[in-house]
Amino acid sequence: MMIHERNINSLKSINILLTKIIKNPNNHINDTYINKSLKSQGGLASYKNDELNIFPCSLNSQKSVANETLDNGYSSLNDLRISALNAIKNASSPSPKINKSTKEGLKNKVTELENDITLLEQRNLLLSEFVLDLTQKIRLISTCNKEGLESELGFILKEVKEKNNFINRG
């Protein structure tokens, strides 16, 4: 019973640790122990950290505890592990060099500019439609009588604000 409870608490702590790693992978880039443990399921099960109350156990025990306690069972824990591993990998890989003096730098520059153009085209499409939407709303307001105008205007302004936020978020 004691060991089972300990495993449950340990699993909860592992969950918290993995979400922390996904949010801030930069803090764990140099931690070789956690990097090694994240590479395999068995490695994660045998991970030990006294400060965070994480104790090692066998993979089978971890799977059965995860299936009992987590919503989607062990698969959700495994997904978290893989995302954490990827997050650390992405954070540690150096950003591509962009310059005009080397062939590789120029290639990266072209890729970056192409991505920029695509984003601007997307934004342009959304803004074009937004302009059309606004003109239609102006037409709608022009047909309203004085009583309906105020409430209609309130609704429209809220919608316009939300759409503007939506477009700016991208």
Question: Among 121, 134, 140, 149, which residue interacts with other proteins (rule: CB under 8 A)?
Answer: 121
- Judged by CB under 8 A, the stretch of 3-11, 20-28, 64-72, 113-121 that binds other proteins is 113-121
Of 16 and 119, the one with the shorter C-beta distance to other proteins is: 119
Question: Among 3, 125, 141, 157, which residue interacts with other proteins (rule: CB under 8 A)?
Answer: 125
Tell whether residue 94 is a contact of other proteins (CB under 8 A).
Answer: no
**Per rule CB under 8 A, count of chain residues that contact other proteins:** 21
Q: What are phi and psi of 54, to 5 degrees?
A: -110, 125
Tell whether residue 124 is a contact of other proteins (CB under 8 A).
Answer: yes
Tell whether residue 111 is a contact of other proteins (CB under 8 A).
Answer: no
Tell whether residue 135 is a contact of other proteins (CB under 8 A).
Answer: yes
Tell whether residue 170 is a contact of other proteins (CB under 8 A).
Answer: yes
What SS3 string covers the chain?
Answer: CHHHHHHHHHHHHHHHHHHHHHHCHHHHCCCHHHHHHHCCHHHHHCCCECCCCECCCCHHHHHHHHHHHCCCCHHHHHHHHHHHHHHHHHHHCCCCCCCCCCHHHHHHHHHHHHHHHHHHHHHHHHHHHHHHHHHHHHHHHHHCCHHHHHHHHHHHHHHHHHHHHHHHHC
Taking the C-alpha atoms of residue 134 and residue 28, their distance in angstroms, rounded to an integer, is 48
Of 32 and 143, the one with the shorter C-beta distance to other proteins is: 143
Which residue reads 């591509």 in tokens?
96
Tell whether residue 146 is a contact of other proteins (CB under 8 A).
Answer: no
Tell whether residue 151 is a contact of other proteins (CB under 8 A).
Answer: no
Report the site for other proteins in 8-27 (rule: CB under 8 A).
Answer: none
Q: Which residues bind other proteins (CB under 8 A)?
A: 118-119, 121-122, 124-126, 128-129, 131-132, 135, 139, 155, 158-159, 162-163, 166-167, 170
